[in-house]
Amino acid sequence: MNEHLLQYIWKHVLFRPQGLFSTEREPVTVLFPGVHNHDAGPDFLESKIKIGNTLWAGNVELHLRTSDWHKHKHTTDPRYQNIILHVVFEDDEPLGGVSFPTLELKHHIRPDVVDRYQKLMALNKPVPCASRIAQVPDLIWGSWLDRMLAERWEHRLDEWHLLWLQAGKDWRTLLYYRLAANFGFHVNRDAFLELALSIPLNILVRHRGKLQQTEALLFGQSGLLPTTRQDEYVKELEREYHFLRRKYQLTPMLAHRWKFLRLRPSNFPTVRIA
């Protein structure tokens, strides 16, 4: 067993979902395993898990062993504050000092899943299942592609419609939100959208001819404005932002919402904001 396989098993629910109990003996029901996160932070986002009689929505972290939580120093990492469930292959020690339960999957994973995985990995090919693609009938292959296209469009339209409602059904504000999200590409898309949602468009328009005030608003609201540097320009931005924040009663983002891992320097959120 390795962590990549464990993540795949969790993502596709390739385990017996009945009779799951946390290490504290609370019944666990997986309603939605979550969105697989390939960047820094928890392994799965937006999960929906029923624990006991309570429905929880939040993030799920996976490890091979319970003790890996402390080995990876997640306790002091703010990105792991919203964990609702810790999923492990093997519960090797009690996890103290946390508010979420642990679920051990060791005895719930189907043996055939692990067996197929080991056989595919033994082929030592870039795409282990490539030889089996030809076995898929054209009708199934074509239907699958059509379904994925339709689902992708429906998902995009649902996103735009929800954002349009958040924009007060104002198309100009909707465009502002979408442009901001696109600045973050895939990795920081949600963070850039959160930044746009935190600064009403009319405020940016009001200060559009004043570069320093605009930068102060964007960097201040992003939570990325340095507070320890002695640079005079940074000090000016801090003073400007503190005034504008009080004036417009703004609430800044948390800096840990931004991701820098595996990004080229030109795509760092600080550079994209600038």
- Domains of the chain, by residue range, sit at 3-130, 167-273
Residue 22, CA distances (Å) to 16, 30, 128 in order: 14, 12, 34
Neighbours of 148 (CB within 10 A): 10
pLDDT recorded at residue 48: 94
Angle between helices 111-122 and 3-11 (to 10 degrees): 130
* Ramachandran angles phi, psi of 96, nearest 5°: -85, 160
Spell out the residues 6+ positions from residue 191 whose beta carbon is closer than 8 angstroms to its own. 184, 222, 253, 257, 258, 259, 269
Residue 125, CA distances (Å) to 114, 117, 133, 134 in order: 18, 13, 14, 16
The encoded tokens of residue 85 equal 């469930």
174 forms beta bridges with: none
pLDDT recorded at residue 227: 67
Given a contact cutoff of 8 angstroms between Cβ atoms, the answer to whether 62 and 43 are in contact is yes
pLDDT recorded at residue 245: 92
Instruction: List the one residue out of 231, 160, 242 whose CA is nearest residue 193.
Output: 160
Given a contact cutoff of 8 angstroms between Cβ atoms, the answer to whether 60 and 84 are in contact is yes
| Ranges of residues in the chain whose predicted pLDDT is under 70 | 227-229
pLDDT recorded at residue 29: 94
The CA distance from 97 to 95, in Å, is 7
Neighbours of 152 (CB within 10 A): 10
pLDDT recorded at residue 140: 93
| Beta strands per DSSP E along 39-193 | 44-51, 54-65, 83-90, 102-104
Residue 73, CA distances (Å) to 10, 59, 68, 78, 146 in order: 22, 17, 8, 11, 44
Spell out the residues 6+ positions from residue 125 whose beta carbon is closer than 8 angstroms to its own. 131
pLDDT recorded at residue 228: 64
What is the total residue count of the chain?
Answer: 274
pLDDT recorded at residue 146: 96
pLDDT recorded at residue 225: 87
Largest CA distance in the chain: 66
pLDDT recorded at residue 59: 92
